[in-house]
Amino acid sequence: MNVLLCGDFDAAEQAAWQQALAAAMPEARWWTLAEARARPAEVQAAVVANPPPGSLQGLPALRLIQSLWAGVDRLLADATLPAGVPLARMVDPAMNAAMAETALWATLALQRDFFAYARQQRQGRWQQHAQRRADEWPVLVLGQGEMGRAVARALVGMGFPVSGWSRTAGPADPGVTRIAGEAALWQALPRARVLINLLPLTAQTTGLLDARLLAALPRGAGVVNLARGRHVVDADLLAALDSGQVGHAVLDVFHAEPLPPAHPFWTHERVTVLPHVAAQTDERSAAAVAVANLRAARDGGSLRHLVQRERGY
């Protein structure tokens, strides 16, 4: 099988992925974009990480596009993405576990005022705040897919009351209150001390975290965005932080990445900035996930984690 490997990688990342994938599937030939362009009719599959737009057009034998990213919004924004070719996204338990760690850290830091203590340290201020219990600190997780469910389960394990919101009603994990639809969201928001966003970026979810939604939270709530920057209306979040409506925001993702040096999030004392690291794709496990799908494509088996392009995730 001839597989194009391309993405938004530097040379070292390309080499590391090539090595991991070749170790998992030694019988395949792994081609760079330049090599694939020299023999387009022979490319049978592509393993991609947000490749430059246009990379996947003109490959007539392509039978699978396997993303190394969980979110496929940038891929789907490429109008030249071949329409009839199955597109699979990355679903890897190691990534879900990493996301659960990030969300748990952020929630614990919000509940126990650790971000406030970090601010106080910078000011040389010794001041104790009342200690709050996890069971009195409700968390609302937007998205109950792979990531959102892993996060909700981890939070339940720490004793937080957790609600998980999704588009369609699905099975609830033990201890998680599963809610679906817009009305249920607006009912849940006023109780949520912490709001964690793990939605895919689609036409419906772009800009969801705006002034109206933030105003529905209880005063001083924490906002944790681990999904995509464009879910948030930055100016609305900044206004809510400045007014105290939002107590602190933990932001891993931004409209433009890297976050531009002059962006007010960098210096806002109630914002914690992470450089899009909430759950990085782990080559060691993700290569095996990708290869299982490549072999299924080659052998006529069933493909896993296919994106429904019309719904956008």
Q: Judged by CB under 6 A, which stretch of 49-57, 103-111, 118-126, 164-172 contacts ligand NAP?
A: 164-172
Question: Which is catalytic among the residues 276, 298, 305, 309?
Answer: 276
CB of 124 to ligand GLV, least distance (A): 37
Residue 120: its H or E element = helix 114-123
Identify which of residues 163 and 281 has a Cβ nearer to ligand GLV in the complex.
281
Q: What is the DSSP letter of 225?
A: E
SS3 state of residue 306 = strand
Question: Which tokens belong to 137?
Answer: 């600190």
143 binds, among ligand GLV, ligand NAP, none (CB under 5 to 8 A by kind): ligand NAP
- Tell which positions 171-200 bind ligand GLV, by CB under 6 A: none
Distance, in Å, from the CA atom of 138 to the CA atom of 127, rounded to the nearest integer, reads 25
Alpha helices of 159-203 — where are they, by DSSP H?
A: 182-188
Decide if residue 289 touches ligand GLV (CB under 6 A). no
Identify which of residues 71 and 148 has a Cβ nearer to ligand GLV in the complex.
71
Angle at 292 between CA 21 and CA 277, to 5 degrees: 60
User: Which residue type occupies 266?
Assistant: W
Residue with tokens 């609600």: 163
Distance, in Å, from the CA atom of 64 to the CA atom of 82, rounded to the nearest integer, reads 10
Question: Which is catalytic among the residues 89, 228, 230, 248?
Answer: 228
DSSP string for 39-96: SGGG--EEEEESPPTTTTTT-TT--EEEESSS--HHHHT-TTS-TTS-EE----HHHH
Distance, in Å, from the CA atom of 34 to the CA atom of 41, rounded to the nearest integer, reads 13
145 binds, among ligand NAP, ligand GLV, none (CB under 5 to 8 A by kind): ligand NAP
- For ligand GLV, the binding residue among 17, 30, 31, 69 (CB under 6 A) is 69
37 binds, among ligand NAP, ligand GLV, none (CB under 5 to 8 A by kind): none
Q: Judged by CB under 6 A, which stretch of 69-77, 104-112, 116-124, 267-275 contacts ligand GLV?
A: 69-77
CB of 143 to ligand GLV, least distance (A): 12
Q: Judged by CB under 6 A, which stretch of 6-14, 186-194, 196-204, 259-267 contacts ligand NAP?
A: 196-204
Active site residues: 228, 276
Give contact residues for ligand NAP (rule: CB under 6 A).
Answer: 70-71, 143-148, 165-168, 170, 198-202, 204-205, 226-228, 252-253, 276, 278-279, 313
